[in-house]
């Protein structure tokens, strides 16, 4: 938490930047109010970067455009129906919104937009008190009608009014509360948490796209686990991502097994730590984080108690991949994300056979081939999946994976297995066999690919010879 004096200084420096100073002066000259609002004001007090600059004003959208157009590098009115005008100044994008007093119809979360005439009234309609502060410009006066600064100091998340009213109006705010626990490290006030549990089923009126967006933002935080716990404990996860609370399998005294829910949260945390160490400075990897969180979602459906009380989850990798794909499709994630997450889950157990016995070079090539461009993520997911408290076992698995990565690097350097292809391409296969494009070319290609994986590079001459032998045998013994 920054000191108040330090936060005020940061805001003063921001207000003094040439384009914001020019903007606030232009609004004042036109006889209109302007205030920096929400996230940037909050973040000044907790030491976060000041980005996503949002302003609010008593000017109408038409009046905003008239003020902004002559001084901005670019402007747009795509949010005009909601009172928002966007503009760009010296590479910085800002949004300026007319004071609002939203009303909700109770059937959807889409507000009926009504423009307001007061900054204070605009602020108290916002989601949480810590986001309901503003800095009046150009005079630089802090406006805090709901006690947001006190809640910032207490690191507490609560709504400006009754949480039942806030969440009843806009249920998406419940997911935002979970996200802010992870993003800001705040605790949700007890009445606010109680309202989340009581109104969890209201989330059904929110579009799946908005839900997916909030889940993605949560997973992209530095530590998503507190937010995920809030979703599970409140009952929201049961409605938006039910595969996660389902991981809380009953553990009976005769069939002890690892707590799959806690294990999955640990894997997510370890995957994020590895992601940061292996790819420092890069944007959060949503695909990896989804795969880490969901890698064991197939366990509830495959759980069996065998003779002697041993618990098994046979084929939970394959079952889980299908379940994850189904959930992500329902949430309308993009095709690449769905396919990649499902594939990582399907492959996440493959390595554990390596630790039980030496793989041939052929097996290593197939591991690389099957992972394809997901290999760096698979490395991280597989390592993160080791959560045993048995130090000796953990060290053995780590050493085994070190060895596998070293072998992959060595074979890749010698053979270029990062993009494994047969020694002959489709055109050459057709020329050698004298056939036209069709199913037989695909069969021949797969034969040569298996040959390449089993034996390494053969060269065009030997590959041609082996292809002709295969074709002769195939022709003599047609299926």
d(CA 332, CA 309): 40
142 and 164 share a domain? no
Does 309 lie in the same domain as 337? yes
Confidence of residue 255 (pLDDT cuts 50, 70, 90): very low
Q: Which of 124-133, 240-249, 283-292, 426-435 has the lowest mean pLDDT?
A: 426-435
Quote the number of domains for the chain: 4
Residue 442: domain span: 426-476
- Does residue 249 fall inside a structural domain? no
pTM above 0.75, yes or no: yes
Answer whether residue 209 is part of any domain: yes
Does 246 map to a domain? no
Residue 141: which CATH number?
Answer: 3.30.460.10
Note whether 82 and 110 are same-domain residues: yes
Q: Which residue has the tokens 């747009």?
A: 76
If we measure between CA atoms, which residue out of 16, 122, 53 comes closest to residue 8? 16
| The last residue of a domain, from among 116, 149, 182 | 149
Most confident of 80-84, 111-115, 138-142, 192-196: 192-196
Give bridge partners of residue 188 from the DSSP assignment. 157
Asked if the model's pLDDT at residue 233 lies above 90, the reply is yes
* pLDDT tens by residue, 181-200: 999 999 999 999 999 999 99
Same domain, 270 and 363: yes
What is the tally of helices (H) and strands (E) in the chain? 23, 13
Compute CA distances 258 → 66, 251, 273, whole Å. Answer: 63, 9, 22
| Domain co-membership, 270 together with 367 | yes
* CB-based contact 245:147 (threshold 8 Å): no
Give the model's pLDDT for residue 198.
97
> Who has greater pLDDT, 55 or 478?
55
182 and 132 within one domain: no
Amino acid 105: pLDDT: 56
CA-closest candidate to residue 380, choices 405, 362, 358: 405
> Is the residue at 131 inside a domain?
yes
Q: In this model, does residue 28 exceed pLDDT 50?
A: yes
* 247 domain residue, yes or no: no
Between the CA of residue 128 and those of 96, 173, 306, what are the distances in Å? 20, 9, 50
H or E stretch at 230: helix 225-234
Can you read off the two tokens belonging to residue 122? Answer: 């605009």
Last residue of a domain, one of 419, 452, 468: 419
Burial-class residue 400 by CB neighbours within 10 Å (0-12, 13-18, 19+). middle
Residue 431 domain flag: yes
Residue 264 belongs to a domain: yes
Secondary structure letter of residue 210 according to DSSP = H
Q: Which two tokens stand for residue 207?
A: 């579009």
On whether both 335 and 227 belong to a single domain, the answer is no
Task: Pick the last residue of a domain from 241, 267, 284.
Answer: 241
- Any idea what the CATH number is for the domain that residue 213 is in? 1.10.110.30
pLDDT in tens, 169-180: 899 999 999 999
Same domain (yes/no): 277, 339:
yes
Do 113 and 220 lie in one domain? The reply is no
Q: Are residues 286 and 376 in the same domain?
A: yes
Tell whether 263 and 306 lie within a shared domain. yes
- In a domain, residue 340? The reply is yes
Task: Indicate if 117 and 12 belong to the same structural domain.
Answer: yes
Q: Please report, for the domain that includes residue 287, its CATH number.
A: 1.10.3210
């Amino acid at each position: 938490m920054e000191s108040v004096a330090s936060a005020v200084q940061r805001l003063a420096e921001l207000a003094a930047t040439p384009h914001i100073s020019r903007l606030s002066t232009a609004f004042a000259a036109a006889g209109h109010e302007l205030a920096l609002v929400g996230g940037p004001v909050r973040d000044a007090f907790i030491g976060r970067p000041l980005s996503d600059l949002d302003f609010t004003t008593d000017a109408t959208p038409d009046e905003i455009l008239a003020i902004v157009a002559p001084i901005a590098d670019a402007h747009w009115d795509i949010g005009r129906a909601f009172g928002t005008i966007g503009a760009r100044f010296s590479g910085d994008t800002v949004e300026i919104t007319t004071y609002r007093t939203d009303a909700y119809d109770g059937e959807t979360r889409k507000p009926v937009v009504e423009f307001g005439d007061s900054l204070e009234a605009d602020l108290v309609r916002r989601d949480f008190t810590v986001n309901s502060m503003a800095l009046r410009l150009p005079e630089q006066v802090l406006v805090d009608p709901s006690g947001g600064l006190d809640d910032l100091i207490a690191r507490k998340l609560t709504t400006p009014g009754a949480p039942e009213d806030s969440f009843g109006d806009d249920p998406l705010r419940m997911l935002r509360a979970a996200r802010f626990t992870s993003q800001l490290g705040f605790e949700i006030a007890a009445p606010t948490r109680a309202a989340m549990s009581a109104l969890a089923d209201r989330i059904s009126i929110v579009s799946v796209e908005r839900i997916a967006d909030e889940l993605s933002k949560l997973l992209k935080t530095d530590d998503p686990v507190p937010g995920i716990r809030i979703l599970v404990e409140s009952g929201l996860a049961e409605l938006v991502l039910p595969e996660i609370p389902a991981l809380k399998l009953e553990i009976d005294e005769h069939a002890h097994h690892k707590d799959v829910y806690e294990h999955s949260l640990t894997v997510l945390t370890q995957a994020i730590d590895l992601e940061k160490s292996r790819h420092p400075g890069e944007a959060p990897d949503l695909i990896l984080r989804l795969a880490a969180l969901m890698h064991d979602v197939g366990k509830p459906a495959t759980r069996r108690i065998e003779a002697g009380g041993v618990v098994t989850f046979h084929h939970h990798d394959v079952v889980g991949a299908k379940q994850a794909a189904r959930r992500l499709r329902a949430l309308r994630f993009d095709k690449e994300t769905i396919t990649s997450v499902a594939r990582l889950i399907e492959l996440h157990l493959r390595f554990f056979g390596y630790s039980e016995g030496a793989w041939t070079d052929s097996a290593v090539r197939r591991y690389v081939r099957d992972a394809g461009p997901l290999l760096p993520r698979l490395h991280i997911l597989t390592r993160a999946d080791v959560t045993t408290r048995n130090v000796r076992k953990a060290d053995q698995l780590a050493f085994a994976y070190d060895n596998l990565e070293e072998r992959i690097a060595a074979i890749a350097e010698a053979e270029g297995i990062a993009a494994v292809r047969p020694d002959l391409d489709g055109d050459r296969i057709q020329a050698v066999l004298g056939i036209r494009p069709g199913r037989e070319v695909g069969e021949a290609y797969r034969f040569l690919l298996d040959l390449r994986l089993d034996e390494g590079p053969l060269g065009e001459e030997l590959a041609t010879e082996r292809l002709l032998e295969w074709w002769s045998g195939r022709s003599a013994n047609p299926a």
